[in-house]
Amino acid sequence: MNSDKLIINLPDVEATLKLGSTLASFFLETKKLVPIFLNGDLGAGKTTFVRALVESFPGAQNAEVSSPSFNILNIYPTKPQVAHFDLYRLEGQTPDDDFFDLLSDKKTLTVVEWIQYLNIEFWPESALLFTWTPAASGRTIELTLHGSATSLYEELASFLKSFQ
> Would you give per-residue pLDDT tens digits along the chain (164 residues)?
344 889 999 999 999 999 999 999 999 999 999 999 999 988 788 989 999 999 999 998 877 787 766 678 889 999 999 999 988 877 777 788 888 888 888 899 999 999 998 888 888 999 999 999 988 888 999 999 998 898 898 888 888 887 66
Question: Which residues, in sequence order, are bridge partners of residue 143?
Answer: 6, 130
Any idea where the domains of the chain sit in the sequence? 5-163
How much is the pLDDT for 164?
Answer: 62
Q: What is the pLDDT of residues 62-109, one digit of tens each?
A: 777 877 666 788 899 999 999 999 888 777 777 888 888 888 888 999
Fold of 5-163: Rossmann fold (3.40.50)
How much is the pLDDT for 1?
Answer: 33
Q: How far apart are CA 40 and CA 116, in angstroms?
A: 9
Q: Report angle CA 122, 6, 100 to the nearest 5 degrees.
A: 20
Residue 118 burial (C-beta neighbours within 10 Å; 0-12, 13-18, 19+) = buried
Note the helical H segments in 3-78. 13-30, 46-55
Question: Rounded to two decimals, what is the model's pTM?
Answer: 0.90
